[in-house]
Amino acid sequence: MLAQADLTEFTVRPLGGGTYNEVFRVTSPEGDFVLKVSPSGRPGLTYERNLMRTEALFCRLGHAVAPVPEVVHTDFSRALVNSDALLTTWLPGRPLFGREDVDRPLVRRQLGQAVAALHEVTGPGFGYPQLGLHTTWTAAFLAMFDAVKADARRYGVELPGIPLDPAVFDEVKRPALVHFDLWDGNILTDTGLTGLVDGERAFWGDPVAEFVSLALFRTIEDDEDFLTSYGFEFTDSARVRLAAYQAYLYSIMLVERVPRGSTDQAMESLITNALTRALDVLA
């Protein structure tokens, strides 16, 4: 695959930290790159299919407006290995998660500007690109949630009842590019923001959905640096939609524990408590 990408010489070493794809750092005379290879035959959730192709789409669109890796090469033929592969440029910096050596308010302000730019990118419809798009966000989001509920039944996970009012989703008229996994582990920093990575879970939808992972297990309304830079003010309906998206993500996180074989009880409690708080808003 690397030869197909016109790299003349290269060294490859695994990168840790991922929970879905195999990820490698590639060093060559042509530069430094990241190679991602999708899992082959591993059980997953309904939306976890052809994710590499969605990530390639996210990178191609996002690179033009934000610090997102540039696509160098893709191989979706599955002729060399029974997986999809994506080669992108290497971005400097280290994940923000657990860092105490950065100016966090500065990074959050820069992040607000970068995310706002991503959300200006408009898609051809609503939903996950790899699953087929809908003409309305309401139809797309309800279908996304139905898929997770079906996954829960398939894996024997009991989810609570989650009330959703279609009317609040009808307010969303434009399909924005949403990363949907911008927790601190996917935000790269040096002295400031250097990259937004791992966009395989992206979809076209409501920008408010982005605020879930940006404040994972917390509330984005406490992040004045981000919100001021982004230029967003909450309305009552936006708060309800945010709670729905929190319930969606935390439901995913509960269900995916089964195919991933997770037994971390502390994490399960953290997710369950966050889901309960979201349901309190939706009740």
pLDDT digits (tens, 9 = 90+) for 162-215: 999 999 999 999 999 999 999 999 999 999 999 999 999 999 999 999 999 999
Q: How confident is the model at residue 77 (pLDDT cuts 50, 70, 90)?
A: very high
pTM here is 0.95
Cα distance between the two ends of the chain: 51
Annotate 16-45 with DSSP letters as a single string.
---SSSEEEEEEETTEEEEEEE--SS----
Q: Report, as an integer, the average pLDDT of 154-158.
A: 96
Q: Report, as an integer, the average pLDDT of 83-99.
A: 95
> Minimal CA–CA distance to 108: which of 3, 262, 227?
227
Q: Reply yes or no on whether the pLDDT at 43 is more than 90.
A: no
- Domains present along the chain, CATH in parentheses: 11-89 (3.30.200.20), 94-282 (3.90.1200.10)
**What distance in Å separates the CA atoms of residue 118 and residue 62, rounded to the nearest whole number?**
6
Q: How confident is the model at residue 18 (pLDDT cuts 50, 70, 90)?
A: low
**What distance in Å separates the CA atoms of residue 283 and residue 279, rounded to the nearest whole number?**
6
Amino acid at 92: P
Q: How confident is the model at residue 19 (pLDDT cuts 50, 70, 90)?
A: low
CA-based angle 211:107:228, to the nearest 5? Answer: 55
The confidence score (pLDDT) of residue 216 equals 97
Contact 59, 71 (CB under 8 A): yes
* Coil, helix or strand at residue 184: helix
The confidence score (pLDDT) of residue 17 equals 64
**What distance in Å separates the CA atoms of residue 165 and residue 257, rounded to the nearest whole number?**
28
Q: Six-digit token pair at 198?
A: 């791992």
Q: How confident is the model at residue 128 (pLDDT cuts 50, 70, 90)?
A: very high
